[in-house]
Amino acid sequence: MATGGAGEMIGQVFSWLTDSAHWRDTPLDTGITTQLLAHIKFSLIAVGIAGAIALPLGLFIGHTRRATFLVAGANALRSLPSVGLLVLLTVMIAPHFHGRTDVGFVIPTEIVLVLLAIPPILSNTYAGVDNVSPAVTDAARGMGMRGRQILFGVELPCSLPLIFSGIRSATLQVIATATIASFVPLGGLGRFIYDGLQQQDYPQMIGGGVLVAALALTADMLLALIQRLVVSRGISGRFSKSGGAAADAVDAAITRAEVAPV
């Protein structure tokens, strides 16, 4: 009985997702395509701003080993509940905007998304540069490289695996929290989850969940692909069949820098 009900529900979710009417905009409803694009837009803006702040800062802190308290401070942000922050900033900012725009909801959401995306990128960039073996930087210095050349020619390429793992977890965090932004309320794929819940339209709610999960998995795969193209094979250890010691060290460092989940 129970499994029959579940099978039936999975079928209903499948037909909700494959009904082309749900993908198009109508005068009454916004379709999946529009919400998907909105979700991607919010997420890209947030990750872009967070990266523009956290990457240079992390490189600076790692290279000069100054102001390391900033990393600890950013990590303390992680114990804040993301929904609470979202609701707090929304009721603070939204009443100042009137009319038919959603700017009053976009601004607080983007602030929260950026706040959540900074800690993983910052701490991983810092850990990446901090993890570069002193023997490597000494060798570079011995070859006559200067501070800036060492940073961009040696430390940055060597820390790329950790930086990418930070960007990937920041992206997942942002996609997840952008979903909850529909609760405050804003567009995006979370709309289907919260609207489905409100209307007791469970195929729509679960279909929304499927779309969010698919977007997160796709984004993570794309970033993994970019990482594969960008990171030197000497660092990822992809030319020897057994992985190599360098790659093991990088894996261990990533485990140590284990980032908070969504």
Partner 1 sequence: MSLLHAVFATADSPSSASSSPWHFFGYFLDHRSQDLSWLWTHTWLSVVPVIVGLLIALPLGWLSRRYGWLYPPMVSITGLLYTIPSIALFVLVPPLLGLSSLDPLQVPIALTVYSVALLVRVVADGLASVPEEVNQAATAIGYGRARRLFAVELPVAVPVIAAGLRVATVSNVSMVAIAGTIGMSNLGQLFQIGKDLSTPTAYYPPIVLGIVLCVLLALVLDALIILATRLMTPWRRAVPAK
How far is 92 from 108, CA to CA, in rounded Å?
A: 8
Roughly how many angstroms between the first and final C-alpha of the chain, as a whole number? 34
Q: Which is nearer to partner 1, 16 or 126 (CB)?
A: 16
Stretch of residues binding partner 1 (CB under 8 A), selected from 26-34, 42-50, 73-81, 137-145: 73-81
84 binds partner 1 (CB under 8 A): yes
Task: Give which of 154, 208, 261 is closest to 30, Cα–Cα.
Answer: 208
Contacts of 184 (CB under 8 A, 6+ apart): 86, 87, 90, 94, 105, 108, 109
CB of 53 to partner 1, least distance (A): 22
Q: Which is nearer to partner 1, 140 or 161 (CB)?
A: 161
How far is 103 from 125, CA to CA, in rounded Å?
A: 32
Cis peptide before 261 (omega within 30 of 0): no
How far is 114 from 52, CA to CA, in rounded Å?
A: 10
Stretch of residues binding partner 1 (CB under 8 A), selected from 20-28, 62-70, 155-163, 188-196: 188-196
Stretch of residues binding partner 1 (CB under 8 A), selected from 79-87, 99-107, 118-126, 134-142: 79-87
Residues found near partner 1 in the complex (CB under 8 A): 2-3, 5-6, 9-10, 13, 78-85, 87-88, 90-92, 95, 172, 175-176, 179-180, 183-184, 190, 193-194, 197, 202, 205-206, 208-210, 212-213, 216-217, 220, 255, 258, 260-262
